[in-house]
Amino acid sequence: MQDMILILSRCQAKRISPRSKKTFFRFHFRGFYSGLKIKEIHVYPHQSVALDKGEDYLLWVTLKCVRESVLEVTLLKYKKIE
């Protein structure tokens, strides 16, 4: 079983992957994860979810991969921060 990661971040955009044609959300992040520099996070949900651009969220995710300074994760659950 993969480790769960907890992220607090702001949703910047909803996008469609040109490679896999899957919908993902782009979240703000500047820092490091496991010694790798990360510039943003791409969150891939299992099902259709309504995350709003410009809103802050607490995200429970699992790691897919790190590619070109982008942390790609799978969304397990989320909570909008009021």
Tens of pLDDT along the chain (82 residues) come to 578 999 999 999 999 888 878 899 999 999 999 999 999 999 999 888 989 999 999 999 999 999 999 999 999 999 999 8
pLDDT tens sequence across 49-62: 989 999 999 999 99
pLDDT at position 57, please? 97
CATH code at position 66: 2.40.50.140
Q: Is the pTM of this model over 0.85?
A: yes
Domain ranges, residue 55: 4-80
The total number of structural domains that make up the chain: 1
Residue-level pLDDT at 40: 97
Paired sense of beta strands 70-80 and 36-45, if any: parallel
